[in-house]
């Protein structure tokens, strides 16, 4: 065998990634790290994986080995219930990290399914732990990422526990909008990658209810909806819905 690994063709789905030159570094794990520290991260985040729409990065029950930073595309986390229904527990976009559910039992607790053709950076967990034993700021940053996930989940619990259907949808749209802005996209106009059913599952509503409320918001001039294309026309109107529990 000739020793030419560097000339290995690139037509596999394993590509070289570098955090230091990644446009998402201010949203992702490298956030707040120095140049040198990010280079340490580059050493461990060595491969990317392409995930086609409908495929999974991992499935519930899979052995846990890595975290995944979303580089492009859009994902849902979901669990298939005994009765076959697909319960959505989150939506994830570029710069976010998925897979942390697997750490506790060494097996993943849910699926991470691509809602469009996507790409993730593979972060081998053992190497991340090793690096974060060496680099204090990386350790801190990783802990913050996990904690942020906990706080985010608690936010969803509050949404599900206290809000009525219209508030949930309004909160959902505002949240998406915010996250798009942070990634340099328009806050007012975006494309939903998920179906009404997935939105409903995530928000604890039926798809018909989601559809009806979108229509209602449209009639009230708050948003424009055309299938998956959303245009927010009156942000303050949506914000005003939050906290009006009756």
Partner DNA sequence: CGTTGCGTTGAATAAGGTCAAATAGAGTGG
Partner DNA sequence: CCACTCTATTTGACCTTATTCAACGCAACG
The span of 6-14, 24-32, 45-53, 79-87 binding a copy of itself (CB under 8 A) equals: 79-87
DSSP state of 64: P
Instruction: Look at the chain and count its residues.
Output: 246
Residue among 96, 125, 99 nearest 112 (CA): 99
| CB distance 113 to 54 below 8 Å | yes
Tell me the sheet residues that pair with 229: 191, 226
Q: Which does 21 bind (CB under 5 to 8 A by kind): a copy of itself, DNA, none?
A: none
Q: Is 47 helix (H, G, I), strand (E, B) or coil?
A: strand
CA distance 200 to 87: 9
Angle at which helix 165-182 crosses helix 196-203, to 10 degrees, equals: 110
Write out the two tokens for 208. 């018909």
Quick one: which segment of 30-38, 105-113, 134-142, 224-232 binds DNA (CB under 7 A)?
224-232
Q: Which is nearer to a copy of itself, 57 or 223 (CB)?
A: 57
Residue 165's binding partner among a copy of itself, DNA, none (Cβ under 5 to 8 angstroms by kind) is DNA
Q: If we measure between CA atoms, which residue out of 60, 56, 58 comes closest to residue 109?
A: 60
Under the binding rule (CB under 8 A), the answer on residue 136 touching a copy of itself is: yes
Residue placing its CB nearer to DNA in the complex, 164 or 231: 164
- Binding a copy of itself (rule: CB under 8 A), the pick from 14, 154, 186, 215 is 154
Site for DNA, rule CB under 7 A: 164-166, 192, 195-197, 204-212, 214-215, 225-228, 245-246
Site for a copy of itself, rule CB under 8 A: 77, 79, 81-83, 85, 87, 89-90, 100-105, 109-110, 129, 132-134, 136, 139-140, 143-151, 153-154, 156-158, 160-162, 201-204, 243, 245
């Amino acid at each position: 065998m000739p020793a030419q690994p560097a000339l290995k063709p690139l037509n596999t789905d394993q590509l070289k990634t570098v955090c230091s030159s990644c446009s998402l570094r201010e949203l992702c794990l490298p956030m707040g790290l120095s140049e040198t520290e990010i280079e340490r991260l580059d050493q461990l985040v060595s491969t990317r994986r392409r995930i086609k729409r409908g495929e999974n990065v991992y499935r519930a029950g899979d052995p846990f080995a890595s975290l995944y930073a979303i580089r492009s595309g859009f994902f849902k986390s979901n669990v298939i219930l005994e009765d076959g229904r697909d319960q959505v527990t989150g939506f994830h976009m570029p710069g976010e990290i998925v897979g942390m559910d697997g750490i506790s039992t060494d097996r993943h607790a849910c699926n991470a399914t691509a809602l469009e053709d996507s790409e993730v950076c593979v972060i081998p967990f053992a190497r991340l732990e090793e690096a974060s034993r060496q680099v204090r700021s990386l350790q801190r940053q990783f802990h913050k990422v996990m904690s942020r996930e906990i706080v985010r989940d608690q936010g969803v619990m509050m949404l599900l526990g206290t809000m009525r259907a219209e508030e949930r949808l309004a909160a959902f749209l505002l949240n998406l909008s915010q996250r798009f802005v942070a990634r340099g996209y328009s806050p007012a106009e975006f494309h939903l990658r998920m179906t009404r059913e997935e939105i409903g599952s995530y928000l604890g509503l039926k798809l018909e209810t989601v559809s009806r409320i979108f229509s209602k918001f449209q009639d009230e001039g708050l948003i424009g909806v055309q299938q998956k294309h959303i245009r927010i026309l009156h942000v303050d109107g949506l914000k005003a819905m939050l906290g009006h529990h009756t």
